[in-house]
Amino acid sequence: MLLLRCTIFTRVANFCRKVLNRETAVTAPEDRRPLTIIPRDQHAISRKEISENALKVLYRLNKAGYEAYLVGGGVRDLLLGRKPKDFDITTNATPEQMRKLFRNCRLVGRRFRLAHVMFGPEIIEVATFRGHHLTHVPDDADTGSAVQAPAAALQGQNGMLLRDNIFGSIEEDAQRRDFTVNSLYYSVADFTLRDYTGGLRDLNEGIIRLIGDPETRYREDPVRMLRAVRFAAKLNMTVEAATAEPIPRLASLLHDIPAARLFEESLKLLQAGYGEPTYRLLCEYQLFQPMFPLISRNFTEQGDSFMEKMVTRVLENTDHRIQNDMRVNPAFLFSAMLWYPMLEQAQKLTQESGLAYFDAFSLALNDILDEQCRSLAIPKRLTTLMRDIWQLQLRLSRRQGKRAFKLMEHPKFRAAFDLLALRAEVENSAELQRLVQWWSEFQEAAPPRQKSLLTTLDDDGAARPRPRRPRRRAPHRDPA
């Protein structure tokens, strides 16, 4: 009986040690900062700037007795005077409780369980407060065992979180967020702003700082490295030294991220209006190579190759269009970025296999898309458009007869022409510039002028030179 009591006491003591070790292992003491509550008259957030649907969700959660806060990028952007793209909410209600509370709610995500409250085209994302997940922490010396993650959390061998549905308090939730500037909470109950991590100070100083140990957090989710770069470029901020230091060392962890997720991240990085500065930071922190190995393997020390100039130029062009509310298409962006690697592969196949250039071009097109899709899972709907844009490059110089009119009827003619114009600019080629000029005039010309432009072409489609005066022949003499 005495032995049984001792065993029970030992197990209780071990359990207490596990709980204490869990708290100290997940969050270092220096990461915990005292809560700062900023009253309404000391911050710039107004309900007028918040989506009506987000306010409906906040009010209903509060009315049902739950805590609910606006959090993340929406709060950050409002404080910076920017218009938020979306509004995220966090609460102590579980996903199942939210589904009962909102009929227009759909639960999504296996890795992170979330509630999407649907209001027509607008989706309000609601997450339950995250708690600390257990890590492999040494237990007492008697057993030598380790504290294992519970069933709701699962980590891979490299430290990446494969599943994480541990719920906790708002204080734990603040420590589980990625960057301090994204860890600010706005309450509609008293209109206060809650800061658990010093995020408001970092926001004012223009610093991107990771919460917790950077290497551990990057291993949990390597995409955080991309997010650090994206926020720095988007907000024109600086990545804090300790946050930046591990990134080049851990960049290869991006190879463990599903290609479909990396594709979605690539759009956030390169098609959000600040793609060119983001590209420079990606290269600086060695994050570009895992996403675009075909491009990065051809980088030069001087950075002045046609390919590198094309990447910079097409990103500048994309940024300009987005900032002027013009449409952009990822297919055009990727076709321009990968044009020179594809061209190099076509030339290589022509030399090594003796294929005709058109056949080598078609094979190279498939090779490049297959290899790139191993890193970024570019959807078929986009790769189909990329093929059209590339193949049209070979046809734009052949304009004689009715070909020019048929080319203009092609759905991707305009995108192909834009790529041609970028090539002419990047290569500074007189021949390409003449071709661009011809097509520019032909598109805008009236039918009589179009006919005149076509008559200046030779049989190959090139501009016909001015005809020479025929030589006078010697008179024909009959043989004697």
CA–CA gap between residue 227 and residue 205 (Å, rounded): 19
Give residues with Cβ within 8 angstroms of 28, minimum separation 6: 212, 213
CA–CA gap between residue 429 and residue 310 (Å, rounded): 14
Other CB atoms within 10 Å distance of the CB of residue 198 = 19
Calculated CA dihedral for residues 450, 451, 456, 459, nearest 10 degrees: 110
Report the run of H or E that residue 65 belongs to, with start and end.
Answer: none
Catalytic residue among 77, 88, 202, 418: 88
CA–CA gap between residue 291 and residue 254 (Å, rounded): 8
Q: Any idea how long the chain is?
A: 480
Active site residue 86: yes
CA–CA gap between residue 142 and residue 145 (Å, rounded): 9
Active site residue 178: yes
Closest-CA residue to 333 (of 281, 286, 367, 376): 376
CA–CA gap between residue 12 and residue 20 (Å, rounded): 13
Catalytic residue among 77, 164, 173, 178: 178
CA–CA gap between residue 398 and residue 403 (Å, rounded): 7
Q: Determine whether 151 is exposed, middle or buried from the number of CB atoms within 10 Å of its CB (0-12, 13-18, 19+).
A: exposed
* Active site residues per annotation: 86, 88, 178
